[in-house]
Amino acid sequence: MRVIVTGAASGIGAAISRKLAAVYGPQAKLILSDLNAPALDAVARQLDGVDGCRAIAVAGDISMAQAPHELAQTARKEFGGLDALFSNVGISGRGQVIDAGIEDWDKLFAVNVRAPLFLVQAVAGLLEQSRGSVVMTTSMCGSHPSPLGPYSVTKAALVMLMKQLSVELGRKGVRVNSISPSWVETAASVQLFSNPEMRQRKESHVPLGRLAAPEELADVAAFLISRDARYVSGVDLQVDAAFANTLIYATQKEGDWDPPARRDPALSASA
C-alpha cells in the first residue's frame, strides 16, 4: 500500500502513518509530508524499516505551488506509483466571518482547500493507474457554523471538493471520501482541552462521554482506503460519537418536555 500522508508529523496524520505501518507491514510504503521537519523526521525514523515498512519524509509547506508535484514525483520515483492519498493538513483561525481579513482568509483557503485540490490533481493519474483512493480530513465545523467562522467555511468547501472529485474521479475508478472529526486530542486542540472545566463541558455533550484519540480517526481512515471500503465513495464520514446529533438536546433542561400532567398535577386527566 503506497500512501502519501500530509500533516504526518503530529496528531491524526502521525496516527494514520503508524496505523498503515502496522496494518500493511512490508507492503507499507509511506511518503510523509509536513511543515515541521524535525517532528516529521522523528515519525519517519520511528516507522522506516520496522517490519519492512518504508517511510520517506518530505518536509515542506503543502500550500506552496511545487509541493504537490514534489510528493507525486517521490511516489513515482521511490515506489513506482501510488495507491492512496491521505490529505489531512488543516489550519484553523478564530473569529467571525464578518471580520475576516484578506490575508487570514487567503491563508486558510490556501492550506485547507487549494492545497488538497492541487495535491489531488498532481496524483490523480497515479491513482487512476492503481484504482486507488483519496481520504481528506474535514471537520464537524464544515457542516455546523462555529466560533471558528472562516475555518468552518473552508471545511465546508473541502466537503464539496471531496464530493465533486468523487464524481469526476469515480469515472476513472478512483474513490474519494473524507472523515469529519469533532473533538480530537491533538496538538491543534491542546489549548482547549488542557482546561479541565472546558474539557468536562465538551465531553458532557458527547453521547459517548469522551473526546476522540487520534488513533480512532486513523482507524476509520485506514478502513476507507482499504479494499473493505471498495464500494464507498463520496462520503463525509462523521467520526464524532454522535455529537452532531445532539442539537435539540443542547437546549434541553430537566423536565422541559414532560407531559403537562407531570408538570402540573391540577391539569392531569384524573384530577
Ligand X SMILES: NC(=O)c1ccc[n+]([C@@H]2O[C@H](COP(=O)([O-])OP(=O)(O)OC[C@H]3O[C@@H](n4cnc5c(N)ncnc54)[C@H](O)[C@@H]3O)[C@@H](O)[C@H]2O)c1
**How many other C-beta atoms can be found within 10 angstroms of the C-beta atom of residue 131?**
12
Kindly tell me which of 65 and 271 has the beta carbon lying closer to ligand X: 65
CB of 266 vs ligand X, minimal distance in Å: 49
| DSSP class per residue in 180-203 | EESSB-SGGGHHHHSSHHHHHHHH
> Active-site residue 249, yes or no?
no
The C-alpha cell that represents 123 in the structure block: 496524483
Least spacing, CB of residue 155 vs ligand X, in Å: 7
* DSSP code of residue 171: T
Question: Which residues in this chain contact ligand X in the complex, by CB under 6 A?
Answer: 7, 9-13, 34-36, 61-63, 88-91, 111, 137, 139, 181, 183-184, 186-189
CB of 202 to ligand X, least distance (A): 10
* Cell numbers found for residue 135: 481520504
When the beta carbons of 50 and 159 are compared against ligand X, the nearer one is 159
Residue with Cβ nearer ligand X (190 or 261): 190
Distance CA 46, CA 91 (A): 25
Catalytic pick from 24, 151, 231, 249?
A: 151
Element (H, E) at 59: strand 54-59
Kindly give, in sequence order, each residue whose CB lies less than 8 Å from that of residue 148, ignoring residues fewer than 6 positions away. 92, 93, 94, 95, 141
135 - beta bridge partners? Answer: 86, 177
Question: Measured from the CB of residue 271, what is the shortest distance to ligand X in angstroms?
Answer: 51
Tell me which residues are annotated as active site. 151
